[in-house]
Amino acid sequence: MSTPANFNGNAPVIDPNDAVMVLIDHQSGLFQTVGDMPMTELRERAAALATVATLAKLPVITTASVPQGPNGPLIPEIHQNAPHAQYVARKGEINAWDNPEFVEAIKATGRKTLIIAGTITSVCMAFPAISAVAEGYRVFTVIDASGTYSKMAQEITLARMLQAGVVPMDTAAVASELQKTWNREDALEWAEAYTHIFPAYRLLMESYSKAQDVVKNSEVLDSMR
């Protein structure tokens, strides 16, 4: 398998100061066609991306494919979690990059790194990701916050995007690269976001909190002896 000329095997990590969060077609109707992951998990991760983009102060661009039809409206959590998000209405274009207003909204940010998630992965997310790379953007796609018809469709799409120079990631990795450090005032808000990315993280937080309570109670008892 040949390596594409524009593939950068040493793609840098995401710089929050140069990144835009692009959330495409996370619509209630389209979610019903997803077969490569549980719909509830997909929905939670898409909403979590909006949250971490807000915490990291990233511009957020959203769009929907014929929301007045069977594809349905965008899930409300995205704009609830990212009130500053800019919604771009399309005129029927399947590839969002074919919509001039969508491309202009991204260009207006002045940033050259795109973090893209979308449903359906093999179409709504892949098409604009590949188009953006062709126009000189660095593109990271969030696979577990995008959904498609089957695991096979997901794997084929991953192969195609890798050939085009798109870098695949998962939601937790994106959040961690944007967060950078736990030594920040909003650390608890980031921790809460992780509980929506993988719910088991809440168990970790609860077990730590319980352990801390045990230590404090032990110290109190020691001081009373």
pLDDT at position 210 over 90: no
Q: Quick one: tokens of 34?
A: 């997803």
Low-confidence winner among 1-15, 16-30, 137-151, 169-183 (lowest mean pLDDT): 1-15
The full set of domains in the chain, from first to last, is: 17-179 (3.40.50.850), 187-224 (no CATH)
The answer on pLDDT for 219 being more than 60 is no
What is the structure's pLDDT at 199? 79
Residue 220 clears pLDDT 90, i.e. is over it: no
Confidence class for position 205, pLDDT limits 50, 70, 90: low
Helix, strand, coil shares of the chain, percent, nearest 5, are 50, 15, 35
- Report phi then psi at 206, rounded to 5: -65, -40
Percent of the chain with pLDDT over 70: 85
Greatest alpha-carbon span in the chain: 75
- So which residues are the catalytic ones? 124
Give the Cα separation of 64 and 182 in Å (integer). Answer: 34
